[in-house]
Structures are given as structure tokens and as C-alpha cells.
Chains A and B, each alone.
Chain A
Amino acid sequence: MGSIEAPASAENGSIPATCAINGDQRYAPASDGVPPRPSYPAGMTPETDALRKRRSSILPLEVGTRVLCRWRDGKYHPVKVIERRKMHAGGPNDYEYYVHYTEFNRRLDEWVKLEQLDLDSVEAVVDEKVEDKVTSLKMTRHQKRKIDETHVEGHEELDAASLREHEEFTKVKNIATIELGRYEIETWYFSPFPPEYNDSLKLYFCEFCLNFMKRKEQLQRHMRKCDLKHPPGDEIYRSGTLSMFEVDGKKNKVYGQNLCYLAKLFLDHKTLYYDVDLFLFYVLCECDDRGCHMVGYFSKEKHSEESYNLACILTLPPYQRKGYGKFLIAFSYELSKKEGKVGTPERPLSDLGLLSYRGYWTRVLLDILKKHKGNISIKELSDMTAIKAEDILATLQSLELIQYRKGQHVICADPKVLDRHLKAAGRGGLEVDVSKLIWTPYKEQG
């Protein structure tokens, strides 16, 4: 996991941190009292004058400081201070800090209290200048690419300039948690809610119409009047308790916008730049006697020139790792098949998105190769699966199944090799039963 134990301080020779003792996996809220600091287990060593002096000289921490921070796993991890803000009721130097765990994706960035930081690990210099140099536009393209690749996972397809802009604008999460139906969920990323919502850390969403409010009472009042029990579109698929709804962004503008605001909280590179009229939203729901509860969705351009069959895809955190994402991907290709077109997801894919797609492509293609007799072209594979030829090539090549010998390409389909790849690609998740898809492509709708 790469977690780093707090190093023993040379100054006082105290023992390394043993915070894992703390059984609580979630970090303790500040109200629970000050947890023991790692280098000074309670009642062991009083702070020396020198140390106190050092503390006061570095506080408050500057933006850009690198330090170790106790995470929810109870261990200390290296972080970088992204932003700081004054506490509501505190002294002039009482700040809380927004930190990025350098080992992890930005979705885990969070506001932390000073008690969580190990001040002995503060690196003396603020490395703002180094950082500037790293992302400077003066670098060669190659250097930039290298840095993008090594330092910023999941951002490979953005250039350095737009990446910086993106990070500057979205560096601090605005909404920390949301309530949506049965679940209260921690958010992952910044989302550009209207300015009226700037002052709230928590939003309450109506799980059906996705209107969002700042107070629980407002939601409860809304629930008494809300007339929706399912997404405001046509049901186009039902299998057991699982239903898929198609919502037209033009007919249901506010719903589409609400969905985008919500989704952005969990997608790093989703853009809300353009209006929702040009999109269709496919909302997957689990249905019970309270209504149809959204588990995830994907959006799709009504007319895509780049043959995109999917723009954004999201499984809400409470429903993740249950195969819904794979279902959504498979569903998007079933729609493409019905349209008689090949499709591909819009780029860039997020880290999790790429994993899911790689798995889907591997499963679909290798299943065909296992059964197929005789020669087959990439184009034929593409026609059978609605997967774009480029994606097929990339998949087979990354699995090294396309070999070049005696002046021609062959597909290596040893069953043993295929089975190994299939096993690595994981289970297929929920199956899409095509016979239960009742759907007319948008272009053919009246």
C-alpha cells in the first residue's frame, strides 16, 4: 500500500508511530479530542523549548508544504498542502489544511486539522518554485509528457497547460458529502454548483428528481411534494429489479443538469461546459417499493461526429464493485449495435474507467477468439461487437495476441493464454439481456 510509518525523529529519539492501534478506520473527527501525536505518545515526552520554537516558526503551514498526515487508515502518508483556511472559531494561527495525498488520486484530497499532521516531518522549504519549473511551458514536449505520465495518473491525455488550469480551478473540493436517497456519500472531486451553494459543505439530493438543497428540512419538505419515483424518461430495459431509463437532456433540462452536477462530484475530468440538450442520459436503477433508485448512469451525445457512444459514465460509490459499471459499458455497446454503428467512449478515460473498458474489451474479444473458426479480420470483430477497430487493435496488442510472423499478422489464440487473460480481466458482471431492450435510436424517434 505504500503507507509510510512516521519516521523516528532524530531530535528526541522517540519511537516510531504506531497509530494503527487506533481501531477506527475512519479518521477521528476533531470533536473526539486530540489524538496522540505520533512522535510524542501521550504522557511520554514533554515538548522541549526548541521544538516548540520550531513549531511556531513553521506555523501556519504555507501552501505547498510537504508533510506527513494521518489518514483514515491510521497511518501517516506524505501529503502536500493545497490550500488552507482559518478555523471559524480560532486564534489567528488556527488553520485547517486541504491536503493532497501524493500517493493517491486527487479524489482523496481532504480538509484536515492540524492534529493530523506530523509537524516534525515538515520539509523546510516550500517547493513552489520547483513545482513551477516542473509544469513550466518552457519544457520540451517530451519532458512535459514524461512528467504528465509519471506524476499525474489518469491525466495522460491532457496537455500540461490545460491540466494546470484544471487543477487550479478544481483544486479544492467544495462539497464534502452528499445525501442521496439511502446513502450519505463522501464526494471525490470539485463540482461547479451555482454560486448560491458556495457556502455549504453538504448537499441533500432528492434521489428521484436530483434537486439539491442545503438543509435536511428542505429535502424533507421536497420529498413530501416530489411526484417522481423514477428518472423522468422512458424505461427502455427491465430485467428483474434492474431498469434503465433514457432521459432526453432537452426535454428534462433541469434533471440533466442536476445529474451532471452530481456526477461531477465523482468524475475528475467531466466537463459541464456545454448544456445538456445535446445529450441523452441512460440512468440505471434498482427498483423497489420506494421507487427506482439510481445506481449509475452514462450519457451519450445525440449526434456524435467522432462515433462516441458514451460521454460520461459513473457508478455511484455505494453501488461500486458490484458489476454495474460493466453493465453500463455493455449496454452502451448494445445500443450501438441496435444503431448499426461502431462506438467508442469519449476520451480521456479516468483511471477507473480505463480499467473497466479494458476488461470489457478483453472479455468480449477473447470470448469470440476462443470460439471462432477460421480467419478473422479486425473489421469483422468490430462489426460483431460494435467496438471501434482502434480499440480492438489496442486491446489485442496490449495483450500481445497479435504476432507478426513470416510477413503477416496472426492472432495468437492459444486457449490457455486466452483463459489467463480472461481471468485477469475479471468477471463480466451483470449480463445485458438484449431481448429485454425495447428501444428506438434517437434518430428514428419522431
Chain B
Amino acid sequence: MSRLSFRPRPLDIHKKLPIVKSIKDFEDDETPTSTRNAQILRLAAEAETEVHQIPSKKVAPEIPTPQFVVVDTYERDYSRTFSQPTSYLRGRGARAEIGEFVEYDLDNEDEDWLQEYNSERKILLPEKLESLLFKLEVLDHKARERAGVITPTLGSPIPVLLQPDAAIEALQALSIRYGVFQSIYNYWKEKRERWQKPILRRLQPPPPVNDTNPYNVFRPREKAHRLHTRRMQRRENNVQSFEKLRQVRRNLDQAKTILEALIKREEKKRDVMESEVSLQRIQMKYKHETELLEDSLALPGFPPFPCKFGSSEEEFVDSDDVANSRLHTRPAALQNPLFMDSKPVMISSGGMRRELRGRHVPHGWLHKMDPLEPVLLFTKPLDPEKLAAAGIVPPSPSPIKNGASAPPYKFHGRIGRGGRLVFDRWNPLLHTPIDCGDSFYMPPKPRPSTYN
């Protein structure tokens, strides 16, 4: 039977399903479902043949039922004394509650003993023995009940508690000779001690719940009520589980406090970051001018930048996180007058430069500095002489782009942080063409200590 090419949606048992009364209904359908119709028709055809297949297929491994025969003594053993009342029969109490019924049936052992006992002359009827054994069992059970030693399950051997004196007193009404009673009592007691449990099945306690011997059956069920899930089965309503739940609550409260603090911390971090960013922006704005100042004044007392500044190590700065770059830009930031550092030395140097800058402001950056002009930190300007000496020719402006409308692009030369020579025609920060015609951009001058 071929499968449909698509997987049917799972069937919703609450959804009303149309009943298609005839296979023809499928054919009347306007949609081209010929293949499916064919399939259904084939199913119908198979159903027809199946009728003949099923019996041969399913009955073949079917087993002939084991035999039974009619018991020839049946008619004699079971009397025709039952008449059904017109009303439905009602159950009476259990036999144990009725009392006079002798529940015990002699077994082979008892019969053999009785035969032996009666061997010389018939002293005791089997019915009498049956009745006596039954009564001894019941009396012993009552004695154990009074002593409070009834075990709910069969753990250890169950001893005989009934004393012969007590037994004969209780059984006086049966009018048996003492000798006979004595024999029966001894036989019963010996049997009981061999069995280690009551011989009347009703009085035998069930096997313990955890007994795994498959011969011991009818265990009491641990719990009548079984919970659905394992979690529910584990949970109990007691002090222990209360403590457990309280601990869980404490833990959750603590977790909540920690998380709230964490949120606060992260917010603070974001604030710091934002300040940092605006700081950097401002710093970049001021950078150019500061360089000019430094250049023209060539402060003799100004501490040189550390050597590693501009060394190959700095290549990594790009990919590092903010904190890292902040560390490295600090020397530059120190030049910023807005940056309030607690270190007194720096303040003095910053204050000094502020004075210097103040003088240049009118001609410097305020008018001419394009705020979009990139300030590339950590780069150095090219030395045209050295370039010439090395035979490096700066690229000429692109001839193609040098159209009428397009402004001429000029390539800026600089030395990258790793020492590469870079000619920009594209602002790497702003992603705009660099129009150097109007630009006042001047790459910072090399520090003598790092460049030479």
C-alpha cells in the first residue's frame, strides 16, 4: 500500500469529520485527485479480497483450544437443589462472618494422618477433624489478636499462641474425648510449626510489599492512590518538604536581589560608556588643534609619549574593547582641558596648554576645522623626503573619477600604526570621499622619540 506523498496533519478528536458514504463521492470532486481516487478504489478492492484473506491469514496461526472432558461424577457430586429466586440474588456476608461454616478443607497430609490414626478402628470422622482444625486455627488467631501480635505481612514465622488448656475449654461443646483432642492438637501444632504460618488461607498474612519472590502473591498495595508524575510522587506534605520549599524561596529572593543589583551596575556601566564616547568625540575635535599647538611651541618640558605608542603592539587596539582603548588614549585625553584628572601634575600641564590654546583659537580650528574631518589617532604623517629616497610615489588622483562634476580626490598619505604606508581617498571613519581641497586636515606630526 503506497503512502501518500504528504504527511497528514494530526487528527483532532474534537473536530467533526465528514463521513463519506460512497467512494463515488471522491470521484465527483472537481479537483484532479485521480491518483488518490485510484488509491481509494484500490483500497476498496483490497477490502473485498481481504475478506477472503483474513480468515486464512489470521486463523492459520490460531491454536486449537486445549481439550476438556466432562467429569463423569459431576451429576452425583453436585446436587440439583438450586432454584433461582425471581428477584436478583444478593450477596451475603463473607464466610468468615457467618461463623458456623467450616472454611477449612482437609489436605493430603491431614487425610494421611487421619488414616493412620483410624487404622485400628474408626475413631474420628474426617468432617470432625476438619471442623476441629478450623476451630483451632480461629482460636489461635483470636489469641494472637488479643496478644496484639497480628502482623500485617508475612515477615517472620508465626508461632502458635493457643494453649491446649484454653483450646479444650473453648471446644467443650464439641464433646470430644480428651485423648482424641490431645492427638489432634499435637498434630495441628506440629503442622503449624512446620508451615510457620496459619494453615487456614484466610488467616495467612500477605507477603511483604517488597518481597520479590514471584511465588508469593497478593501483596498489599503500598498506596492506593498513585500520583501521575514522578515529581508528584516525590512531593509530600510534611515539615521536611516545607523546609525545602522555604529554602527554595530564600534562594529565589536572593537571586532576585542579585539580579536587581546587576541591572543597576549595567546601567551605570552604560552611563560611563556614553560619557566615554562623548568624551572621545570632544577629544577628537580638539585633537587637531592641540597638535598644532604642540608643534608650534615645541614644549621643552613636555614628557614624551611612551615608546610603545605606535609600536606594532598597537595593531591590536582596533579589535580590543573600549576599556582597552581608553587606557591607550589616556595620554591624549590628558591634553584635554575638560578632562578632570585628579593627578596634580597633569592638571598643571593641562592648564598650561589651555593658556597656549587660548591664544590660537581665533585662527585655528574654530572656523576652519570641519567636524566631519576624521582624526585618525595613532597615525603619523608621511615624510616626503623619505618616500622619495625609498622610491615610493604617492598615487595620483584617479583619472576616471576626475570628471567635470566630481571634485578631485586627493590621496592623503600617512603611516599606519603598524608602520604601513596608507594613502586614503576614502575616509575610513566616515566612509565618505575625502575632499582635501578644502580640508584643513593635518595629520599629527611625528614625535621625535618614536619616529626617528
Residues of A within 8 A of B (CB): 1-2, 26, 72-73, 103-105, 107-108, 153, 169, 179, 181-188, 192, 194-196, 207, 209, 211, 213-223, 225, 227, 229-230, 232-236, 238, 243, 245, 247, 251-254, 257, 260, 272-278, 287-292, 303, 305, 317-318, 320-321, 355, 369, 372, 374-380, 382, 389, 393, 400, 402-417, 420-421, 423-424, 438
Contacts and interface: CB of A to CB of B under 8 A. Distances in A.
Interface stretch (B41-49, B143-151, B423-431, B443-451): B41-49
B7 to A, nearest CB: 9
Contacts of B64: 73
A293 to B, nearest CB: 9
Contacts of A213: 105, 107
B17 A409 contact: yes
Contacts of B215: 192, 195
Interface in B183-230: 195, 201-202, 206, 214-221, 224, 226, 228
Interface string B60-73: 11011111111101
Q: 10 shortest A-B CB distances, which residue pairs?
A: A404-B8, A375-B16, A378-B13, A272-B217, A186-B66, A235-B88, A235-B89, A233-B91, A185-B68, A291-B82
Given A235-B89, A275-B218, A413-B19, A225 B102 contact: yes
A67 to B, nearest CB: 20
Contacts of A410: 17-20
A424 B60 contact: no
B363 interface: no
A218 B107 contact: yes
Given A192-B215, A257-B218, 13 more contacts: A2-B61, A181-B74, A182-B70, A182-B78, A183-B71, A214-B107, A217-B111, A234-B88, A254-B201, A287-B82, A291-B82, A410-B17, A414-B22
Nearest to B100: A227
Contacts of B177: none
B68 to A, nearest CB: 4
Contacts of B218: 257, 260, 272-276
B94 A252 contact: yes
Which of B12, B73, B89 has the most C-beta atoms of chain A within 10 angstroms of its own C-beta?
A: B89
A375 B18 contact: yes
8 contacts: A183-B70, A184-B68, A184-B71, A213-B107, A232-B95, A251-B94, A260-B217, A276-B218
Contacts of B84: 287
B50 interface: yes
Contacts of B8: 404, 409
Given A229-B82, A275-B220, A379-B14, A412 B40 contact: yes
Contacts, number: 245
A223 B78 contact: yes
Interface of B: 4, 8-9, 11-23, 26, 31, 33, 36, 40, 43-44, 47-48, 50-51, 54-55, 58, 60-61, 63-71, 73-74, 77-84, 88-95, 101-103, 105-108, 111, 126-127, 130, 195, 201-202, 206, 214-221, 224, 226, 228
Contacts of A184: 68-71
Contacts of A192: 214-217
A377 B217 contact: no
A278 B111 CA distance: 36
B221 A274 contact: yes
Given A274-B218, A274-B219, A108 B82 contact: no
Contacts of B74: 181-182
Contacts of B130: 221
Contact of B43 (A104, A247, A400, A405): A400
Contacts of A225: 101-102, 127
Contact of B20 (A181, A320, A413): A413
Given A107-B63, A185-B68, A218-B107, A424 B50 contact: yes
A303 B226 CA distance: 10
Given A275-B221, A378-B13, A317 B51 contact: no
Nearest to A178: B68
Given A192-B217, A410-B17, A234 B65 contact: no
A379 B13 contact: yes
B63 A320 contact: no
Contact of B63 (A105, A187, A214, A402): A105
Contact of A389 (B9, B13, B66, B67): B13
Nearest to B48: A420
A376 B19 contact: yes
A329 B66 CA distance: 23
Contacts of A179: 71
A221 B125 CA distance: 11
A197 to B, nearest CB: 9
Contacts of A216: 73
Name which of A183, A186, A217, A424 has the most chain B CB atoms within 10 A of its CB.
A424
A191 B293 CA distance: 108
B191 to A, nearest CB: 11
Contacts of B82: 229-230, 287-292
Contact of A232 (B14, B19, B67, B94): B94
B80 to A, nearest CB: 4
Given A230-B89, A414-B44, A221 B17 contact: no
Contact of A318 (B36, B68, B106): B68
A429 B3 CA distance: 36
